[in-house]
């Protein structure tokens, strides 16, 4: 079997990522040029930590978007002679190269790493967004009303938080649970929260302007119902919005385990902010409680919530890798980073190269999110 040198492998990897470099150059160039007009996002480019965090996150975002172009092979495709091939191995009778070598099933490690980013960047941010919706929707009334409402909601949140996280996920994503209605029942409950949140948001703001209210609420119900039917019942007529059962199960598990943490953060912020003068002024004007919560309190709590969202995406990414390493949730042939690390670890003493790319990818993406969260925290403290 023929090989190319290490420097040629390095150049080959750089060339494969050409659409990512191009997209990053355009976005970062525009961001630097117009940073004074981009608010909080533009302020990130005033520090080296913020630039590094944004750059790393953009790299993996565009890698996921252009994965079909960047990856030279099908992540599930097998070329028998390339089993456990070393990095730089040339496929016989072709000019194609396994840049990072082959795994024990003769699949291209580089292509699997690239397609793994697509899976991680779909599940982790989306699950975090839904967890934020659930936590915010329940945390606002708990902190604002207090009393019995706070006691009941806090008890439920503490009940979930009392379980060890890994044990909780093991119970939620074990194959026996996946074959029951429990994941779909939880999905049906959690996926209602974004629809409820945005409907309430628009109603409290535009209830005296029915022309705008009907349009915004109608769009919310239409798009929300479309996504809801596609995710929960897998009945999207266009086939655009759908999720495999194992992915849905992990998605629901992440939302279920993350929501109580968001709830406690929102509850604490609301209990502090509701004592401010501008909240008292809104109450004096006769504004409704939900208007005050959504349009007076929540915007002033956005800084800590944005920082928490970045950190939570990183935690979720690590958790997905942990679940994949234990063989839970996603299909065994999935190219996600956790599953790839698990497959490679079985032959780690003989072949280390299949384990390094997904490990470094997972580490770098979480590092980028942590750097981004640090930069956002610094900016929120200045504000």
pLDDT score at 177 = 61
Q: How far apart are CA 229 and CA 191, in angstroms?
A: 10
Give me 175's structure tokens: 């194959």
User: For the chain, what's the residue count?
Assistant: 383
Confidence of residue 175 (pLDDT cuts 50, 70, 90): low
d(CA 97, CA 54) in angstroms, rounded, equals: 31
- The percentage of residues in the chain with a pLDDT greater than 70, rounded to a whole number, is 95
* 8 A C-beta contact, residue 40 and residue 348: no
Instruction: Say what the pLDDT of residue 85 is.
Output: 87
DSSP character string of 310-357? HHHHHHHHHHHHHHHHTT-SS-TT---HHHHHHHHHTTTTT--TTTHH
What is the per-residue pLDDT across 14-25, written as a single tens digit (0 to 9) for each? Answer: 999 999 999 999
Banded pLDDT at 100 (limits 50, 70, 90): very high
End-to-end CA distance of the chain: 60
Question: Is a pLDDT exceeding 80 seen at residue 341?
Answer: yes
Q: How many CB atoms lie under 10 A from the CB of residue 170?
A: 15
Does residue 383 register a pLDDT over 70? no
With DSSP H G I counted as helix, E B as strand and the rest as coil, what are the percentages for the chain, rounded to 5?
75, 0, 25
Domain with CATH 1.10.3720 in the chain: 117-318
Query: pLDDT > 90: what percent of the chain?
Result: 42
Rounded to 10 degrees, the C-alpha dihedral 189/195/200/202 comes to 170
Domain 117-318 architecture: Orthogonal Bundle (1.10)
**Residue 333's pLDDT is what?**
80
pTM attached to this predicted model: 0.86
Query: Which range (44-48, 92-96, 254-258, 349-353) has the least confidence?
Result: 349-353
Q: Report the pLDDT value the prediction gives residue 289, as an integer from 0 to 100.
A: 93
Separation CA 128–CA 148 (nearest Å): 28
SS (H, E, C) 269-314: HHHHHCCCHHHHHHHHCCCCHHHHHHHHHHHHHHHHHHHHHHHHHH
Cα distance between residue 275 and residue 266, in whole Å: 15
- Identify whether the C-beta of residue 87 lies closer than 8 Å to the C-beta of residue 352: no
Query: What is the per-residue pLDDT for 179?
Result: 63
Task: Give per-residue pLDDT as tens, 288-306.
Answer: 999 999 999 999 888 889 8
Question: In Å, how far are 156, 161, 252 from 182, measured between CA atoms?
Answer: 18, 19, 10
Please write down the HEC assignment for all residues of 20-66: HHHHHHHHHHHHHHCHHHCHHHHHHHHCHHHHHHHHHHHHHHHHHHC
């Amino acid at each position: 079997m023929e090989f190319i040198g290490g420097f040629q492998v390095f150049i080959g990897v750089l060339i494969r990522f050409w659409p990512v470099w191009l997209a990053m150059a355009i976005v970062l160039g525009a961001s630097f040029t117009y940073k004074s007009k981009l608010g909080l996002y533009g302020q990130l480019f005033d520090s080296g930590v913020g630039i590094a965090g944004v750059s790393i996150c953009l790299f993996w975002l565009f890698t996921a978007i252009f994965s079909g172009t960047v990856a030279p092979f099908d992540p599930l495709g097998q070329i028998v002679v390339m089993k456990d091939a070393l990095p730089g191995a040339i496929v016989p009778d072709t000019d194609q190269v396994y840049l990072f070598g082959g795994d024990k099933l003769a699949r291209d490690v580089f292509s699997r790493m690239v397609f793994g980013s697509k899976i991680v960047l779909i599940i982790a941010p989306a699950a975090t967004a839904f967890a934020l919706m659930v936590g915010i929707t329940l945390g606002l009334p708990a902190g604002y009303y207090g009393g019995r409402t706070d006691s009941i909601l806090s008890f439920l949140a503490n009940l979930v938080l009392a379980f060890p996280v890994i044990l909780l996920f093991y119970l939620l994503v074990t194959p026996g649970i996946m074959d029951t209605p429990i994941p779909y029942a939880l999905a049906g409950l959690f996926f209602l929260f974004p629809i409820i949140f945005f409907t309430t948001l628009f109603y409290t703001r535009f209830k005296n302007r029915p022309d705008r209210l009907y349009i915004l609420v109608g769009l919310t119900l239409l798009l929300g119902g479309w996504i809801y039917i596609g995710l929960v019942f897998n009945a999207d007529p266009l086939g655009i919005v759908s999720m495999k059962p194992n992915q849905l199960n992990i998605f629901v598990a992440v939302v279920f385990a993350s929501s109580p943490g968001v709830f406690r953060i929102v509850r604490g912020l609301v209990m502090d902010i509701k004592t401010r003068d501008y909240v008292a002024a809104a109450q004096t004007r006769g504004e409704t409680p939900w208007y005050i919560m959504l349009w007076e309190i929540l915007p002033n709590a956005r800084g800590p919530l944005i920082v928490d969202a970045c950190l939570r995406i990183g935690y979720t990414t690590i958790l997905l890798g942990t679940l994949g390493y234990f063989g839970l949730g996603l299909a065994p042939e999935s190219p996600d980073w956790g599953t790839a690390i698990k497959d490679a670890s079985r032959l780690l003493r003989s072949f280390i190269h299949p384990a390094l790319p997904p490990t470094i990818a997972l580490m770098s993406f979480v590092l980028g999110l942590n750097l981004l969260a640090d930069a956002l925290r610094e900016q929120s403290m200045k504000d």
